[in-house]
């Protein structure tokens, strides 16, 4: 009987040590995952900026082609938004609102003098987010 009593505490101690080891590894890997997520967000923001550059160049002469660049910029921004919404929720909301407004204006084929200033401001905001 004494042998069986000694097995339970030993088994519990080993289980606790195993869980502690797993928890420690998970905790140690967490910063790396956050850093990788931040790097992916910055990459997506760079792509959004690039696509907005294309939009700014093409909208005055080829609005249909520019809409594609705007959609790609929005998609890239949305990819980054998941990470950014934790740290910069107001900027994410503003970016989404700006994209929606730009998409509505381009769908209505608004004149470049109406569309381009908004696109430039959005590009500047996205560039500011890249630096963080």
**How many Å apart are CA 118 and CA 128, to the nearest integer?**
15
Please report which residue ranges of 1-132 form alpha helices under DSSP H.
2-58, 63-87, 89-107, 112-130
**How many Å apart are CA 47 and CA 71, to the nearest integer?**
12
Summarize the confidence of residues 69-80 as an average pLDDT: 96
Averaged confidence pLDDT in the chain = 85
Percent of the chain scoring above 70 in pLDDT: 73
Distances (CA, A) of 24 to 13, 15, 31: 16, 14, 12
**91 close to 13: Cβ distance less than 8 angstroms:** no
The encoded tokens of residue 43 equal: 């990459």
User: For the segment 91-126, what is each residue's pLDDT rounded down to a tens digit?
Assistant: 999 999 999 999 999 999 999 999 999 999 999 999
Which residue, 34, 21, 16, 123, is CA-closest to 84?
34
Query: Which of 122 and 28 is assigned the larger pLDDT?
Result: 122
**How many Å apart are CA 100 and CA 44, to the nearest integer?**
18
Record the pTM: 0.73
Q: Which domains, and CATH codes, for the chain?
A: 34-130 (1.20.120)
Summarize the confidence of residues 70-86 as an average pLDDT: 92
């Amino acid at each position: 009987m004494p042998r069986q009593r000694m097995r339970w505490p030993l088994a519990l101690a080993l289980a606790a040590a195993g869980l502690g080891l797993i928890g420690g590894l998970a905790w140690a890997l967490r910063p790396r995952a956050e850093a990788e997520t931040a790097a992916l967000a910055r990459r997506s923001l760079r792509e959004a900026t690039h696509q907005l550059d294309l939009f700014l160049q093409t909208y005055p002469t080829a609005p249909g082609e520019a809409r594609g660049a705007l959609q790609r910029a929005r998609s890239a921004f949305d990819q980054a938004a998941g990470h950014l919404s934790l740290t910069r929720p107001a900027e994410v909301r503003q970016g989404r609102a700006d994209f929606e407004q730009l998409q509505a204006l381009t769908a209505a084929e608004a004149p470049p003098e109406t569309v381009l200033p908004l696109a430039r401001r959005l590009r500047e905001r996205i560039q500011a987010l890249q630096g963080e």
